[in-house]
Amino acid sequence: MKFESDFSLKSYNTFGIDVKAKHFARFDSVQELQELLQRPEIREENKLILGGGSNVLFTKDFDGIVLLNGIKGMEVVREDEEFAYVRAGGGEVWHNLVLFCLEHNLGGIENLSLIPGTVGAAPLQNIGAYGVELKDVFYELEAVELATGELHTFDGEACRFGYRESVFKHEAKGEYIVTAVVLKLHKQHQLNTSYGAIKTTLEEMQVQQPTIHDVSAAVCHIRRSKLPDPAQIGNAGSFFKNPEIPTLLFDVLKVKHPDMPAYPVSGTTVKVPAGWLIEQCGWKGKVIGNYGVHKNQALVLVNYGGAEGEKVLALAHDIIQSVQEKFGIVLQPEVNIL
């Protein structure tokens, strides 16, 4: 266990924003976490749970205790003819879990390769990419309740997953720390290569009969070419969610903007890529001093070094406003703003 005060969070958020936490503690087991939560000096503090810090924008110092999940471990805990159940500690790096599954020839999360962040954070926003979401392979999770220190189990239904959503962003927000996740993975692989960019990349790689390894390689290639590496340029992936709008509104907008892309969600709604909307408003590649909008993906805001969170947030508001003025669509942030 590690405990510090007046602690810089700069290397604990992928945006690289330099703020401080009043206290900081890292726990490496459920027991250590439970002990921490019982300490009187900690019980009264505001608490923030950090995994990889890859989905957060700090705009000020954190007046409370930051709890860093350091619980490690990955294993195949059960198998039957069709499925293998893989259990991973909440503090594991997500991509290392993807690699573990690939090594064990288990399919289902190859499309989720290289998503920054930890295993414990993955269910909070039901991470997704290239046609697959965590909920598609999720079996259950274990989480410690902050108020009581009790360990609970949540199945998929209890997690109430949606597009970048779960119960942990709503009713249960800030109430639990995810200590382990169990995935249910296919032994017989069912590849999802429907996403256009995957198809094209596999063709470029001259792969005719792709394996989970090929799909993972294709996804890594796409992500590396489009998305900035947080180790080099501070960012938190997609800053906004792709908005879901009524098909009727889309039909109206399409008259004025015939190139506007959209993907059907239900019979009455479509999802519009926020990156396209932002690009149309002229923001793509915009640099404002030491921060801006990424040049290859307008949905990603970046910190070139030393940017203040408040400034990045002000940029986000300007983007929201201009998209609203041009298209009448209100973008919602995907990252947690603190």
Active site residues per annotation = 164, 238, 334
State the DSSP code for 60.
S
State the DSSP code for 167.
G
Distance in Å, CB of 46 to ligand EPU, minimum: 26
Provide the terminal-to-terminal Cα distance of the chain, rounded to the nearest Å: 25
Q: Find the part of the chain contacting ligand EPU (CB under 6 A) among 4-12, 134-142, 271-279, 303-311.
A: 271-279
> Interface with ligand EPU includes 176 (CB under 6 A)?
no
> Interface with ligand EPU includes 334 (CB under 6 A)?
yes
Complex with ligand EPU: residue 155 or 263, whichever CB lies closer: 263
> Interface with ligand EPU includes 331 (CB under 6 A)?
no
> Interface with ligand EPU includes 275 (CB under 6 A)?
yes
Give the residue among 249, 239, 336 at the shortest CA–CA distance from 291.
Answer: 239
> Interface with ligand EPU includes 15 (CB under 6 A)?
no
Angle at which helix 212-226 crosses helix 94-103, to 10 degrees, equals 150
- Residue indicated by tokens 């239900």: 266
Cα-based distances in Å from 107 to 34, 103, 152, 217, 322: 34, 10, 27, 14, 42
Cα-based distances in Å from 207 to 110, 126, 212: 16, 30, 12
| Beta-bridge partners for 93 | 118
Distance in Å, CB of 129 to ligand EPU, minimum: 4
Distance in Å, CB of 41 to ligand EPU, minimum: 36
Distance in Å, CB of 227 to ligand EPU, minimum: 6
Binding characters for ligand EPU, 187-206, by CB under 6 A (x = yes) = ----------x---------
- What's the rounded Cα separation, in Å, for the pair 52 and 73? 16
- Cα dihedral 275, 317, 237, 305 in deg (nearest 10): 120
Complex with ligand EPU: residue 124 or 227, whichever CB lies closer: 227
Complex with ligand EPU: residue 148 or 194, whichever CB lies closer: 194
> Interface with ligand EPU includes 299 (CB under 6 A)?
yes
> Interface with ligand EPU includes 235 (CB under 6 A)?
no
Q: Which of residues 99-138 bind ligand EPU (CB under 6 A)?
A: 129-130
Distance in Å, CB of 298 to ligand EPU, minimum: 3
